[in-house]
């Protein structure tokens, strides 16, 4: 049977060259060739994150582990943390930080919107926080935050900033160093374009010095930078080292994917995501589907979250889309889980995938009796592109 197109917000469709790079017999993690390749990979991460003085980390695990690593290394019991939430993953960060003894203040945006930056500043004025977390693109709502003012506030109030970029790194614009964000974390399976299994982050020197000056040990043995920092430094110096066996084949894939990303060029890549995101949203609009983000300024370019039309069972629409050869994801935010679905359009997504996916959604809606002008959505999307 023909393989269906995977248009969920991660894992995504991966480049054939990336899949090829990882499908070689596994080398030793201390083989000279692999050491060189891992070193290159870490150097390239600094370019993709735009953080030349940052320290990259690559650890086997998922995006949640990346959140856990940043949280456990920077929080000591009793520290105050501000979590700015635009959906499911903000809530997750609040829970995670509490495990490490943080006093968490949670600012939650109305569904589909962001927390206005003046509200964030008001909170920062009221209490001395050690760190603040926010989500670049919350994958449960497709809401996009602008990281720049968070970086500015972090500097102004001397608060560390952690950006959950799991659904944004290499898809939405991030200038970590220029914007003064202390940790930008992500996972391999989204816009980075590598199968699931790698937790990735770049950490500022400031955050590392806060960690170095901890009074208590890190409450998570595996995540402790004490274990991982010497390993990352060794690979960057092209020296062998060991703490936990690296996910060798995934790192081979990561090296290839970062090469492809940098060959495309960061500006061009972000612009392509902007165009694809915009075209997809316009296409959805012409199908009569509203989306969760309240306006275009807060709408992600890496995924869309359209509401189902009223009075039509969502499950039927999703299975109709699958019948057309495209896999999309269901809702995730508990409050509205059954009312919407999600479509990823990041990584290698181009005009072709936009067209195939909109066509599949159109066919499924028509099957459910929606009155839609055939192919109007494609015309709208193409005009936008």
d(CA 137, CA 187): 13
Residue number, 144 or 358, with CB nearest to ligand PMP = 144
- Per-residue binding letters, 77-116, with ligand PMP (x by CB under 6 A): ------------x---------------------------
* Count of CB atoms situated within 10 Å of the CB of 24: 10
Residue number, 22 or 187, with CB nearest to ligand PMP = 187
Residue number, 10 or 39, with CB nearest to ligand PMP = 10
d(CA 129, CA 102): 10
d(CA 282, CA 164): 27
Tokens, residue 172:
């939405």
Rounded to a whole number of angstroms, the minimum distance from the CB of residue 8 to ligand PMP is 9
Residue number, 35 or 198, with CB nearest to ligand PMP = 198
Region of 34-42, 135-143, 210-218, 335-343 interacting with ligand PMP (CB under 6 A): 135-143
Question: How many residues lie near ligand PMP (CB under 6 A)?
Answer: 12
Between the two ends of the chain, the Cα-to-Cα distance in Å is 31
Q: Which residues pair with 81 in a beta bridge?
A: 104, 131
Region of 46-54, 133-141, 294-302, 366-374 interacting with ligand PMP (CB under 6 A): 133-141
Tokens, residue 225:
């930078």
* Count of CB atoms situated within 10 Å of the CB of 285: 15
Q: Which residues pair with 329 in a beta bridge?
A: 342
Residue number, 63 or 171, with CB nearest to ligand PMP = 63
Site for ligand PMP in 136-165 (CB under 6 A): 138-139, 164
Rounded to a whole number of angstroms, the minimum distance from the CB of residue 191 to ligand PMP is 11
- Per-residue binding letters, 27-56, with ligand PMP (x by CB under 6 A): ------------------------------
d(CA 344, CA 270): 15
d(CA 196, CA 233): 24
Residue number, 196 or 219, with CB nearest to ligand PMP = 196
Q: What is the DSSP-derived secondary structure letter of residue 150? A: H
Rounded to a whole number of angstroms, the minimum distance from the CB of residue 147 to ligand PMP is 13
| CA pseudo-torsion sign 64, 342, 326, 379 | negative
Residue number, 188 or 204, with CB nearest to ligand PMP = 188
Rounded to a whole number of angstroms, the minimum distance from the CB of residue 195 to ligand PMP is 11
H or E, element range at 83 = strand 80-85
Torsion of CA 76, 77, 79, 85, to 10 degrees: 90
Q: 57 φ, ψ to 5°? A: -130, 135
Among 40, 64, 220, 384, the residue binding ligand PMP under the rule CB under 6 A is 64
Q: Is 210 helix (H, G, I), strand (E, B) or coil?
A: helix
Site for ligand PMP in 320-379 (CB under 6 A): none
Q: How far is CA 282 from the centre of its chain?
A: 23
Residue number, 73 or 145, with CB nearest to ligand PMP = 145
Rounded to a whole number of angstroms, the minimum distance from the CB of residue 96 to ligand PMP is 10
Rounded to a whole number of angstroms, the minimum distance from the CB of residue 28 to ligand PMP is 27
Rounded to a whole number of angstroms, the minimum distance from the CB of residue 136 to ligand PMP is 7
- Per-residue binding letters, 166-195, with ligand PMP (x by CB under 6 A): xx-------------------x--------
137-138 and 5-6 strand pairing: unpaired
Q: 131 φ, ψ to 5°? A: -150, 165
Tokens, residue 197:
């299994």
Rounded to a whole number of angstroms, the minimum distance from the CB of residue 188 to ligand PMP is 8
Question: Quick check: 62 binds ligand PMP (CB under 6 A)?
Answer: yes
Residue bearing tokens 């920092």: 229
Q: Which residues bind ligand PMP (CB under 6 A)?
A: 10, 62-64, 89, 135, 138-139, 164, 166-167, 187
């Amino acid at each position: 049977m023909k393989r269906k197109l995977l248009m969920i917000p991660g894992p995504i469709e991966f480049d054939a060259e990336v899949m090829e790079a990882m499908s070689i017999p596994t080398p030793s993690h201390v083989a000279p060739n692999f050491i060189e390749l891992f070193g290159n990979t870490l150097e390239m991460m600094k370019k993709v994150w735009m953080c030349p003085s940052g320290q990259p980390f690559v650890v086997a695990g998922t995006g949640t582990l990346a959140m856990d690593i940043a949280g456990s290394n920077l929080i000591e019991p009793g520290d105050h943390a501000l979590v700015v939430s635009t959906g499911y993953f903000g809530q997750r960060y609040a829970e995670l930080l509490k495990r490490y003894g943080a006093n968490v203040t949670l600012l939650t945006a109305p569904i589909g919107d962001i927390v206005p930056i003046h509200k964030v500043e008001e909170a920062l004025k009221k209490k001395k926080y050690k760190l603040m977390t926010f989500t670049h693109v919350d994958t449960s709502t497709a809401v996009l935050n602008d990281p720049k003012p968070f970086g500015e506030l972090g500097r102004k109030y001397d608060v560390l900033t952690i950006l959950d970029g799991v659904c944004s790194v290499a898809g939405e614009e991030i200038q970590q160093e220029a914007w003064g964000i202390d940790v930008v974390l992500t996972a391999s399976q989204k816009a980075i374009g590598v199968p699931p299994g790698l937790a990735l982050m770049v950490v500022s020197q400031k955050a590392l010095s806060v960690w170095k000056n901890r009074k208590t040990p890190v409450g998570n043995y595996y995540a402790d930078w004490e274990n991982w920092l010497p390993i990352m430094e060794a690979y960057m110096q092209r020296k062998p080292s060991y703490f936990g066996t690296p996910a060798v084949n995934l790192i081979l894939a990561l090296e290839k994917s970062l090469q492809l990303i940098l060959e495309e060029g960061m500006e061009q890549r972000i612009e392509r995501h902007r165009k694809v995101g915009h075209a997809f949203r316009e296409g959805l609009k012409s199908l009569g589907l509203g989306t969760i983000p309240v306006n275009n300024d807060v709408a992600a370019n890496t995924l869309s979250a359209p509401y189902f039309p009223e009075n039509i069972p969502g499950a039927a629409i999703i299975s109709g889309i699958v019948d057309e050869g495209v896999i999309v994801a269901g809702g995730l935010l508990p409050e509205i889980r059954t009312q919407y679905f999600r479509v990823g359009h990041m990584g290698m997504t181009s005009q072709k995938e936009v067209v195939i996916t909109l066509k599949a959604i159109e066919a499924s809606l028509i099957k459910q009796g929606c009155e839609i002008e055939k192919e109007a959505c494609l015309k709208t999307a193409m005009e936008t592109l």
